[in-house]
Amino acid sequence: MSNADALIFGSPIYFMELTGVMHSCLERFYFPYVTYSAEQQTFFKRKLPIAFIYTMNVTQDWLQKMPIANRFAEVTKELFGVEPEIVCAYNTWQYPDYEKFEHGIFSVEQKKHHREENFPKELATAKQLGISLVQKVNQINNQ
């Protein structure tokens, strides 16, 4: 990962946190570049554009009440020199068959409609995220 031109990390959000596996991956990737020096903020030698894509069952309105706790997004700019980009997919379709699960707090029909209406837009947003990262890489390489 350290040799990449840019990175995109994706994770479902459970209980307003990254998954344990993603947390461990980022912890192992970020930690070698952390310093405890006021003069030098990172051991990473260049700028590395990084983005995060989150999927979650909650709506965007609900998320505003309780934001995602991703401490890695907070330190990304310090370690890798570029503000991270973040894309969220809300109210995601979780199961192939909702009849097998208790789902009384939301309407399956509304979730289905939301997916049909929003999933193509979310794919376009993810594609644009990739384009944006390539543009950042080109800017960094041309400096």
Residue 78 forms part of a structural domain: yes
Residue 1 forms part of a structural domain: no
Residue 35 forms part of a structural domain: yes
Residue 81 forms part of a structural domain: yes
Percent pLDDT > 90 in the chain is: 66
Among 8-22, 56-70, 101-115, the range of highest mean pLDDT: 8-22
Residue 136 forms part of a structural domain: yes
- CB 21: neighbour CB atoms within 10 A? 9
Residue 39 forms part of a structural domain: yes
* Segments of 5-128 assigned E as strands: 7-14, 17-18, 50-55, 85-89
Q: What is the DSSP letter of 102?
A: -
Please count the structural domains in the chain: 1
Residue 2 forms part of a structural domain: no
Return the closest-CA partner of residue 108 out of 96, 120, 124. 96
The string of pLDDT tens digits covering residues 96-136 is: 888 888 888 888 899 899 999 999 999 999 999 999 999 99
Residue 126 forms part of a structural domain: yes
Which domain does 41 fall in, by range?
7-141
Rounded to two decimals, the pTM is 0.90
